[in-house]
A and B are shown apart, each in its own frame.
Chain A
Amino acid sequence: MAHHIDLVSEAAGTPDIEQPFAELGLKADEYQRIREILERRPTSAELAMYSVMWSEHCSYKSSKVHLRAFGDKKPDTDVLLVGIGENAGVVDVGDGWAVTFKIESHNHPSYVEPYQGAATGIGGIVRDILSMGARPMAVMDPLRFGDPDHPDTRRVLTGVVSGIAGYGNCLGLPNIGGEVVFDPSYQGNPLVNALCVGAMRHEDIHLANATGVGNLVVLYGARTGGDGIGGVSVLASETFDEGGPAKRPSVQVGDPFMEKLLIECTLEVLHAGLVEGIQDLGGAGISCATSELASNGEGGMHVELDRVPLRDSSLTPEEILMSESQERMCAVVVPENIDAFLAICEKWDVTATVIGEVTDTGRLIITWHGEVIVDVPPRTVAHEGPVYNRPMQRPDWLDTLAANDPLTLPRPTDAQQVRDTWWVMAGSPNLASKLWVTSQYDRYVLGNTVLAQPEDSGMIRIDEESGLGVAISTDCNGRIAKLDPYIGAQHALAEAYRNVATTGATPLAVTNCLNFGSPEDPEVMWQFSQAVEGLADACLQLGIPVTGGNVSFYNQTGDVAIHPTPVVGVLGVIDDVQRRTPMSWKPGDSILLLGETRDDLAGSEWAHEVHRHLGGRPPTVDLEAERSLGRLLVWACRDGLLSAAHDVSDGGLAQTLTDMAIHTGLGASVSIPDGADPFMLLWSETTTRVVVSVDREHLAAFLAMCAEHRQTVTPLGRVASNSADPALVVERVYGGTVTLPLGDLRAVSEATFPRLVR
Chain B
Amino acid sequence: MTARIGVVTFPGSLDDGDARRAVRVAGGESVALWHGDADLKGVDAVVLPGGFSYGDYLRCGAIARFAPVMSVIVEAAREGMPVLGICNGFQILCESHLLPGALTRNDSLHFVCRDQRLRIESPSTAWTSQYVHGQEIVIPLKNGEGGYVADERTLDELEGDGRVVARYLDINPNGSRRNIAGICNEAGNVVGLMPHPEHAVEDLTGPSTDGLGFFASVLSLLVAVGSL
Binding site for B on A (CB under 8 A): 162, 165-166, 169-172, 255-258, 260-261, 347-349, 438-450, 461, 464, 577-578
Contacts and interface: CB of A to CB of B under 8 A. Distances in A.
B78 interface: no
B111 A444 contact: no
Nearest to B16: A172
Given A170-B56, A440-B110, A445-B142, 8 more contacts: A165-B111, A169-B111, A169-B142, A169-B144, A349-B11, A442-B111, A444-B140, A577-B204
Contacts of A169: 52, 111, 142, 144
Contacts of A438: 113
A578 B144 contact: no
A256 B55 contact: yes
A645 B224 CA distance: 47
A200 to B, nearest CB: 16
B113 A450 contact: no
B109 to A, nearest CB: 9
B119 interface: no
Contacts of A439: 112-114
Nearest to B24: A464
The bracket for how many chain B residues form the interface is 20 to 34
Contacts of B52: 169-170, 256-257, 260
Q: 4 tightest CB-CB pairs across the interface, nearest first?
A: A257-B55, A172-B14, A447-B18, A444-B199
9 contacts: A255-B55, A257-B12, A260-B12, A440-B111, A440-B113, A441-B111, A445-B142, A447-B17, A461-B204
A445 B18 contact: yes
A165 B113 CA distance: 10
A439 B108 CA distance: 12
B119 to A, nearest CB: 21
A8 B199 CA distance: 59
A261 B9 CA distance: 12
Interface of B: 11-12, 14-15, 17-18, 21, 36, 50-52, 54-57, 110-114, 140, 142, 144, 196, 198-199, 202, 204-206
B11 A442 contact: no
A595 to B, nearest CB: 30
Nearest to A460: B205
A169 B113 CA distance: 10
A140 to B, nearest CB: 15
A60 to B, nearest CB: 35
B9 to A, nearest CB: 9
B110 A257 contact: no
Contacts of B112: 439-440
B59 to A, nearest CB: 14
B69 to A, nearest CB: 14
Contacts of B196: 444
B205 A261 contact: no
Given A255-B55, A450-B205, A444 B142 contact: yes
Contacts of B12: 170, 257, 260-261
B55 A446 contact: no
Contact of A441 (B21, B36, B56, B113): B113
B55 A170 contact: yes
Contact of B21 (A165, A447, A449): A447
A440 B109 CA distance: 11
B1 to A, nearest CB: 25
Nearest to A438: B113
Identify which of A165, A347, A442, A461 gathers the most chain B CB atoms within 10 Å of its CB. Answer: A442
A444 B52 CA distance: 15
Contacts of A258: 55
Contact of A461 (B51, B54, B205): B205
B13 to A, nearest CB: 8
Contacts of B50: 445
Contacts of A171: 14
A441 B204 CA distance: 19
B165 to A, nearest CB: 21
A347 B14 CA distance: 17
Contact of B18 (A260, A348, A441, A446): A446
Contacts of A256: 52, 55
Given A165-B111, A256-B55, A439-B114, A444 B11 contact: no
B210 to A, nearest CB: 14
Contacts of A440: 110-113
A333 B198 CA distance: 38
B11 A447 contact: no
A461 B204 CA distance: 10
Contacts of A444: 18, 113, 140, 142, 196, 199, 205-206
Contacts of A166: 111
A447 B113 CA distance: 14
A175 to B, nearest CB: 9
Contacts of B56: 170, 257
B114 A447 contact: no
A105 B198 CA distance: 34
Given A439-B113, A444-B199, A446-B17, A172 B205 contact: no
A450 B110 contact: no
A578 B204 CA distance: 7
A697 to B, nearest CB: 21
A448 B206 CA distance: 9
Contacts of B142: 169, 442, 444-445
A585 B204 CA distance: 17
B54 to A, nearest CB: 7
A91 B55 CA distance: 33
A170 B205 CA distance: 20
Contacts of A447: 17-18, 21, 198-199, 202, 205
A370 B45 CA distance: 56
Interface centre among A172, A260, A261, A450 (most CB of B within 10 A): A172
